[in-house]
Structure 1
Amino acid sequence: MGDYHVTLFTSPWNKAECDQARQFLEEKGINFEEKSIQDPGAKGELAKKTGRTECPSIDVNGHLVVGFLPNKWNHLLSDEPLELT
């Protein structure tokens, strides 16, 4: 896996899916910063970046995926260059 800055946005209202997302990153050995949208600053940051506050969401070097979508997350975290379409 590449060298990335990863932020995981989580919410206590969707605990099971956020726990899955956290486990996914931990099992892959990805270092990440976790931000709970219970914090108004984190909630505002996620809303500004995506227009939504759905969690879990992941930000990998400015590329965002809203929701826990393992295939898309794997693509963002792959060693291959990101291609935006």
Structure 2
Amino acid sequence: MADYHVTLFVSPWKQSECDQARKYLKEKNLHFEEKNIQDSGAKGELLQKTGRDECPAIDVNGHLVIGYLPHKWDHLLSQEPLELT
């Protein structure tokens, strides 16, 4: 499996969906950084990247998907990681 930098944005207001997102990433054996948008820095980062503060949201190498959408996450994670030149 390719190397990805994965950030999972979570919120206590969407606990069930965020728990499903964590489980999904763990089942894929992916290392991920988790950021709770209760923290103003994490919320600001998500707002800057997407213009929204909805969770869960996943950022894979700078590509974002808002919402727990496994079919979209599968597609995103099936791509080769982008290399910066």
Using structure 1 for the length normalisation, give the TM-score.
0.91
Which residue is equivalent to 2:17? 17
* Structure 2 Cα separation of the partners of residues 79 and 59 of structure 1: 13
Q: Which runs of 5+ in 1 are unaligned?
A: none
Q: C-alpha offsets along residues 6-26 of structure 1, whole Å, 9 cap, x if unaligned?
A: 000000000000000000000
Give the match's secondary structure for 1:9.
Answer: strand
Give me the identity figure in percent: 73
Q: Which runs of 5+ in 2 are unaligned?
A: none
Residue 2 of structure 1: how far off its partner (Å): 1.5
The runs of at least 4 aligned residues of structure 1 exceeding 4 Å deviation read 79-82
Where does 1:71-82 land on structure 2 (aligned, <5 Å)? 71-80=71-80
Give the match's secondary structure for 1:55.
Answer: coil
Q: C-alpha offsets along residues 13-49 of structure 1, whole Å, 9 cap, x if unaligned?
A: 0000000000000001000000000000000000000
Partner AA of 2:10 in structure 1: T
Give the match's secondary structure for 2:2.
Answer: coil
Query: How many pairs are equivalent?
Result: 82
- Return closer, same or farther for 1:51/1:79 CA change in 2, 3 Å cut-off: closer
Which residue is equivalent to 2:32? 32
